[in-house]
Amino acid sequence: MNRSLPERLDVARPVAITGANGFVGRRTVGTFLALGTRVRAICRTEAGVDMVPSGADSRVVGDIDTHTDWSGVLENVNTVVHLAARVHVMNDHASDPLALYREVNVNGTVQLARAAAEVGVRRFVFVSSIKANGEATAETPFSESSVPAPVDPYGISKLEAEQALHAIAAETGLEVVVLRPPLIYGPGVGANFRRLLNAVSRGVPLPFGAIENRRSLLFVGNMVNALVQCVEHPSAAGETFLVSDGPSVSSAELVTEISYALGRRPRLLRISPALLDAVGRVTGRRAAVQRLVGSLEVDSSRIRKVLDWTPPYSMREGLLETADWWRTVERS
């Protein structure tokens, strides 16, 4: 069980969790079950149900979009935690990617929220993304007072979903809570973080030694802990929170910490950011390079103040748990 949580959670009716079979969803379901809360685990397919921790009431709804039928699925539910989304895709080759993101992340969310309000759901916790704020920070970290300026279709769709939810809340009284996390890591992580684990584990030299950027991250255990607070805390209603592990790190520091967790010696090459940017231009991967060398920093002080929340895991502890999982992956 996550640290700094009560032995039981005083939620009389079930909590419905969409995306229950996903990376964050599985840990969220397991945590609520451990707290003695009944969970309605919502999956897109029957195959997804097999990945959900045992003890949940699993339901299959198909694609989450404008046409999803929620009748019966939300019956007697107290709170919805909406994790399911069309996730950020690198090099999306769809002819109209924004339309695809909107159909799932905006229209699908609206369909779910309206169905929830109609059957008397009390609270709707929406997992958005720091991409709703933008792609990068300069001197000042993103905070709740920052003017959102999303750049890519994913970030645009997440911000539009937030705005639609607040409109529904004003109309129906549904309590909406929004969380904007940065990159989430932990056991089961995929995509770029998984590739980074693999590279560090194999001793691949990485060209980040001269990078002095600042990036915020969020361990999945801290993410789920924050979700629990957003479900139960009275002061969360109507709020938008940016959430992170706390202190940000440079790409070089992150590689060093991952190396420590894996019991490896960090192998960092000192290559100038300008040269890396030039390589990105030539190879057509400038956006990917910018994500590695640029800064994306989050100020999570508001959730700490309003909800009296403290991340139960340090980044080092989160990386050690992630490394333990990675060793089992390598052995399998």
Residue 180 or 290, more confident: 180
Does 268 reside within a domain?
Answer: no
| Residue 118 lies inside a defined structural domain of this protein | yes
Q: Is 219 helix (H, G, I), strand (E, B) or coil?
A: strand
Pairing of strands 57-60, 79-82: unpaired
Span 255-309, pLDDT tens digits? 999 999 999 999 999 999 889 989 888 988 887 788 788 999 999 999 999 999 9
In a domain, 320, yes or no: no
Q: What is the pTM of this model?
A: 0.93
**Nearest of 216, 213, 155, 232 to residue 184 by alpha carbon:** 216
State how far the alpha carbon of 53 is from the alpha carbons of 21, 35, 167, in Å: 8, 14, 34
Please check whether residue 54 lies inside any domain of the structure: yes
Residue 328 included in any domain: no
Range of the domain at 135: 15-185+219-245+298-311
127/88 Cα distance (integer angstroms): 13
Which residues pair with residue 240 across a beta bridge?
Answer: 178
Average pLDDT estimate for 19-23: 97
Per annotation, catalytic residue among 154, 185, 260, 313:
154
pLDDT digits 0-9 by tens, 196-232: 999 999 999 999 999 999 999 999 999 999 999 999 9
Tally the domains of the chain.
1
Closest CA to 227 of 321, 139, 148, 311: 311
311 CA to centre of own chain? 15
pLDDT score for 137: 96
| Residue 196 belongs to a domain | no
Whether 215 and 248 have beta carbons less than 8 Å apart is answered as yes
The answer to whether residue 228 sits within a structural domain is yes
Q: Cβ–Cβ contacts within 10 Å for residue 19, how many?
A: 24
pLDDT over 60 at 90, yes or no: no
State which of 2-16, 76-90, 145-159 shows the largest mean pLDDT: 145-159
The pLDDT confidence band at residue 2, using thresholds 50, 70 and 90, is very low
pLDDT in tens, 44-68: 999 999 999 999 999 999 999 999 9
- With cut-offs at 50, 70 and 90, classify the pLDDT of residue 1: very low
Q: How many helices (H) and strands (E) does the chain have?
A: 12, 9
Helices marked H in 64-189 — which ranges?
97-101, 109-118, 153-172
Instruction: Give me the CATH number covering residue 232.
Output: 3.40.50.720
DSSP letters spanning 78-107: SEEEE-------TT---SSHHHHHIIIIII
Name the DSSP class of 135: S
Q: Does residue 2 sit within a domain?
A: no
Res 89 pLDDT > 80: no
Q: Reply yes or no on whether 185 is catalytic.
A: no
C-alpha distances out from residue 130 to 24, 133, 134, Å: 16, 5, 7
